Amino acid sequence: MSTTTLQPGRLGPGDVAAAAPLPDIMPPVKARKGFIGFLRRNPTIAIGGGLMLLIIAIAIFAPLLWTTDPTALAPARRTREPSAMYWFGTDMLGRDVYSRVLYGARVSLTVGFSVAFFSSLIGLTIGLTSGFIRWADAIVMRIMDGLMSIPSILLAIALMALTRGSVGNVILAITIAEVPRVSRLVRGVVLSLREQPYVDAAVASGTTTPRIIFRHILPNTLAPLTVQATYICASAMIAESILSFIGAGTPPIIPSWGNIMAEGRALWQVKPYIVFFPAIFLSLTVLAVNLLGDGLRDALDPRMAKRV
Residues lying near another protein in the complex (CB under 8 A): 1-6, 8-9, 11-13, 16-20, 22-26, 28-29, 31, 142-143, 145-147, 149-155, 157-163, 234, 238, 241-242, 245-248, 261, 268-269, 272, 275, 279, 282-283, 286-287, 290-291, 294, 306-308
Residue 94 falls in which region: left (phi positive, over 0), alpha (psi -120 to 50) or beta = left
CB of 4 to another protein, least distance (A): 5
CB of 201 to another protein, least distance (A): 31
Half-sphere exposure of 49 (CA within 13 A, CB side): 10
CA distance 176 to 119: 7
Number of residues assigned to the chain: 308
- Which residue type sits at 206? G
CB of 202 to another protein, least distance (A): 33
Q: Which is nearer to another protein, 173 or 193 (CB)?
A: 173
CA distance 48 to 51: 5
* DSSP SS3 for 271: coil
CB of 165 to another protein, least distance (A): 11
CB of 63 to another protein, least distance (A): 27
Q: Which is nearer to another protein, 146 or 219 (CB)?
A: 146
Q: Which is nearer to another protein, 193 or 227 (CB)?
A: 227
Nearest to 97 by CA among 284, 275, 286: 275
Q: Which is nearer to another protein, 155 or 254 (CB)?
A: 155
Q: Which is nearer to another protein, 62 or 157 (CB)?
A: 157
CB of 112 to another protein, least distance (A): 12
Q: Which is nearer to another protein, 104 or 199 (CB)?
A: 104
Tell me how far CA of residue 181 lies from CA of 65, 81, 195, 283, 307, in angstroms.
39, 44, 22, 23, 16
Tell me how far CA of residue 6 lies from CA of 1, 11, 17, 18, 76, in angstroms.
16, 8, 13, 15, 105
Q: Which is nearer to another protein, 210 or 307 (CB)?
A: 307
Measure the N-to-C terminal CA separation of the chain; round to a whole number of Å: 68
Q: State the DSSP string of 201-216.
A: HHHHTT--HHHHIIII
Tell me if 130 sits within 8 A of 305, measured CB to CB.
no
CB of 305 to another protein, least distance (A): 8
CB of 212 to another protein, least distance (A): 30
CA dihedral 300, 302, 305, 307 (to 10 degrees): -130
Q: How many CB atoms lie within 10 A of CB 268?
A: 13
Q: Which is nearer to another protein, 186 or 275 (CB)?
A: 275
